[in-house]
Amino acid sequence: MIELQDVSKVYPNGVKALHNVSVKIEKSQFVYLVGPSGAGKSTFIKLMYREEKPTSGDIYINGQNITRIKNRHTPYLRRSVGVVFQDYKLLPRLTSYENVAFALEVTERPAREIKKRVMEVLDLVNLKHKARSYPHELSGGEQQRVAIARALVNKPNILIADEPTGNLDPDTSWEIMQLFERINLNGTTVVMATHDKEIVNAMKKRVIAIEGGQIVRDQLRGDYGYED
């Protein structure tokens, strides 16, 4: 499903963000990526949706080597990998509905089908009633739910998230985490970088710890393992 083989990433300024990382994530797994700031978690995430390319090594997503695909094929990858960020990254001048519809890859589909899919996914995150709201009219948790709906609208089988609860209070973080768990139970692979110790310790999912650009721990039903 997701496989990194001997992946290294050196940024143009010479920073070595990942060294010789090899790991396999099976279909429908839920994985937390933990580790101190600067460890390489965001780089790991960015490599999976091809925001960055590895300096060496190979990355397979759904059996396809994405290090070898042409840039013009990146949109196809984006259909199978949904991404959620800490700061939501919604377009401020678009409503919830429009933010989600904008992400939908449409190849001449009838308007009613588009509307059906967008409303279906807003319903999944319990935000149908906020379809006409703009991001500034929504709470942080609601904005993140719109971002999750947007990430899911093309029915990806992988959902990756970089600190999705980083700007949310503990109760809202739990709601968002339950939503990720529900999505995972429907068969979607979830890979999430997080500093949320309480949540990681309570969920008992696979935990991969990265330090200094290398995997230092990989446990099924793991713990957060840091004090922060």
Rule CB under 6 A: which residues touch ligand ADP?
A: 11, 13, 15, 17, 35, 37-43, 137-140, 142
CB of 35 to ligand ADP, least distance (A): 6
Q: Do strands 2-10 and 64-65 pair parallel, antiparallel, or not at all (unpaired)?
A: unpaired
Q: 22 or 126: whose CB is closer to ligand ADP?
A: 126
Q: 6 or 137: whose CB is closer to ligand ADP?
A: 137
CA–CA gap between residue 65 and residue 70 (Å, rounded): 11
Asked if 112 and 189 count as a contact pair (C-beta separation under 8 A), the reply is: no
Whole-Å CA distances, 189 to 12, 68, 141:
31, 23, 22
Q: 37 or 107: whose CB is closer to ligand ADP?
A: 37
CB of 104 to ligand ADP, least distance (A): 23
CB of 109 to ligand ADP, least distance (A): 30
CB of 110 to ligand ADP, least distance (A): 31
Counted residue by residue, the chain has a size of 228
CA–CA gap between residue 43 and residue 213 (Å, rounded): 9
CB of 47 to ligand ADP, least distance (A): 9
CA–CA gap between residue 83 and residue 192 (Å, rounded): 10
Asked if 216 and 210 count as a contact pair (C-beta separation under 8 A), the reply is: yes
CA–CA gap between residue 91 and residue 86 (Å, rounded): 15
CA–CA gap between residue 23 and residue 196 (Å, rounded): 22
Q: 17 or 191: whose CB is closer to ligand ADP?
A: 17
Q: 11 or 76: whose CB is closer to ligand ADP?
A: 11
CA–CA gap between residue 172 and residue 125 (Å, rounded): 13
CB of 149 to ligand ADP, least distance (A): 15
CA–CA gap between residue 70 and residue 72 (Å, rounded): 5
Q: 23 or 104: whose CB is closer to ligand ADP?
A: 23
